[in-house]
Chains A and B, each alone.
Chain A
Amino acid sequence: MADEHAARTNIRVQLRPIAFIAVLLVLWSIGIRREPSHLLPGPWGVVGGIADLVRHGLLLKYVVASLFRVTWGFVLAVVLAIPLGLAVGWYRRAEMALNPILQILRPISPLAWIPIAILWFGVGDLAAIFLIFVGCFFPLMLTAINAVQSIPAVYVNAGRNFGLSSAALVYRVLYPAVVPNLIVGLRITLGIAWLVVVAAEMIAVSSGLGFLIIDARNAGNRYDLVLAGMLIIGVIGLLLDMGMRSLEKVKSFRWGYSED
């Protein structure tokens, strides 16, 4: 009896977010009717837009194009920035030397590099990949530097005590000690990459989800497609974030997140 009651309340609690979404959708449809220009679509219009994209085979094509660029730019940045950042973090003088340069280059919006990207790589995939690379490189490098510097000295001393060689010390102590911090940095950076690719595609290439949005607007004010594109961007961004978060749950990494 009590169980049944609890189960019923539980379902009711779980239904609340759905009800909230439903209310928002209703408000949206009402709002659209009152909007004078009739440019913006209602919820059904967006569903229709997604259906249109699927029918023309554009959805998959553009999603793949965007993910392709993000993957390359992100992976290149990871491969270069993390080893470099770990080394720089370990050698104090290297960190002192590079810190001012990093601090100035980091807050430059990756999109400000667009003219330079186009100059070097032309309009196309390479320019977009370069922009994502630039957007990811500096945050990743700073994360790696920080991660090394915040390794508790106890672990390094314990490793040395057991007679590890330098290589073994890196592989068996330093690397596992920085992984939790690195994973958080990777997750945040992947979010930045996803933000940059959309912007880059609006300016520098002619395919991908960012291009879809700007093109749907410019070629005939198809705002149903604009909103469909935005929704898809949101969903994929969410999936990427959830994927990275699931890495944080791996048991041998999890110690790093429960400070006190």
Chain B
Amino acid sequence: MSLTQPVSVPAAVTTKLSVEHVSMVFERDGKSTHVLNDINLEVGDGEFVCLLGPSGCGKSTLLNAMAGFLSPTTGEIKVSGEVVRKPDPRRIFVFQERGVFPWLTVEGNIGFGLSKLPRAEREQRIAHYVKMVGLEGFEKTYPQELSGGMKQRLEVARALAVNPDMLLLDEPFGALDSITRLIMRGELLRIWEAERKTIVFVTHDIDEAVQLADRVVVMSARPAIIQQIVNIDIAHPRDISSPRYLELRDGIFQQIGLAHKV
């Protein structure tokens, strides 16, 4: 059987995000760098999609364009049918590192996007998300006193607190040690199953992608095109030594052109 799946989402699911013929060219000092080349992608409502590719291939650029921080040179990105033109609290970006505000406490960070709510409701929401990401007892702590994993959980909590439709995560666990990274993946899946947000997750780690995503979008080196989209048809919780898991993972390894031996 072929691993390759169609670009569009299954008919039963409504499309949340669609990327249509997006290309991206950066002009700098008279040189132009072609980063993205005619990207087409649809992500369904509540779907968990991983963008996978080698470092510097432009997957972060694509994510930034989805968030509205960058606008594509040609093509369009639509969320719920609306063209993305600027950042919006309905889709929150979780940065690769140090996106939490160091001048605010844990509470202050989680409450950052909630200033319009009445006080009681705000406090209740903060408490809810503090608990969800397991930061009880650290409400008054400043980020510099937290570990890397706690900071990352804090940023996810800050994002969830404003109740966005979508989370855009840019290699969120890249700077963590491998044990913390495993725990964080479990946490993220738990949160995703509880809240059913649409998630687009950028990573260069093949195992991470196969463990987390419904579909893995494999991108090539620059200028990036979508090489392949892999459906991960394993139910959660996934057994990472099952034959199907290994088969899917090895397929991607081959696709990227890596010999799967150390």
Contact = CB atoms under 8 A, between A and B. Distances in A.
B101 A162 contact: no
Contacts of B192: none
Contacts of A252: 103-105, 142
Contacts of A161: 67, 69, 87-89, 92-93
A149 to B, nearest CB: 18
A29 B67 CA distance: 73
Given A163-B87, A252-B142, A255-B144, A157 B93 contact: yes
Contacts of A152: 98
25 contacts: A152-B98, A154-B97, A154-B99, A155-B101, A157-B69, A157-B87, A157-B93, A158-B93, A158-B99, A160-B87, A161-B92, A163-B89, A163-B113, A172-B112, A176-B104, A177-B103, A179-B103, A252-B104, A252-B142, A254-B142, A255-B102, A255-B103, A255-B144, A256-B102, A258-B144
A155 B155 CA distance: 12
Given A157-B93, A254-B144, A163 B88 contact: yes
A253 interface: yes
Contacts of A179: 103
Interface string A180-222: 0000000000000000000000000000000000000000000
Contacts of A92: none
A251 interface: yes
B161 to A, nearest CB: 10
Interface string B74-116: 0000000000001111001101011101111100000011000
B72 interface: no
Nearest to B96: A154
A125 B93 CA distance: 55
Interface of A: 152, 154-155, 157-158, 160-163, 172-173, 176-177, 179, 251-256, 258
B241 to A, nearest CB: 37
Contacts, number: 56
B142 A162 contact: no
Given A160-B86, A162-B112, 17 more contacts: A154-B97, A155-B99, A157-B69, A157-B93, A158-B101, A161-B89, A162-B92, A162-B113, A163-B87, A173-B101, A176-B103, A252-B104, A254-B142, A254-B144, A255-B142, A256-B102, A258-B144
Nearest to A250: B103
A167 to B, nearest CB: 13
Contacts of B113: 162-163
Contacts of A154: 95, 97-99
Interface range on chain B: under 10, 10 to 19, 20 to 34, or 35 or more? 20 to 34
B152 to A, nearest CB: 13
B122 to A, nearest CB: 14
Contact of B142 (A155, A163, A177, A251): A251
Contacts of B69: 157, 160-161
List the 7 shortest-distance A-B pairs measured between CB atoms, nearest first.
A255-B102, A162-B113, A163-B89, A176-B103, A161-B87, A160-B87, A252-B103
B143 interface: yes
Contacts of B86: 160
Contacts of B99: 154-155, 158
A256 B104 CA distance: 12
A99 to B, nearest CB: 20
Contacts of A176: 101, 103-104
B162 interface: yes
Contacts of B102: 255-256
Contacts of A163: 87-89, 113
Interface string B144-167: 100000000000000000100000
Contacts of A253: 103
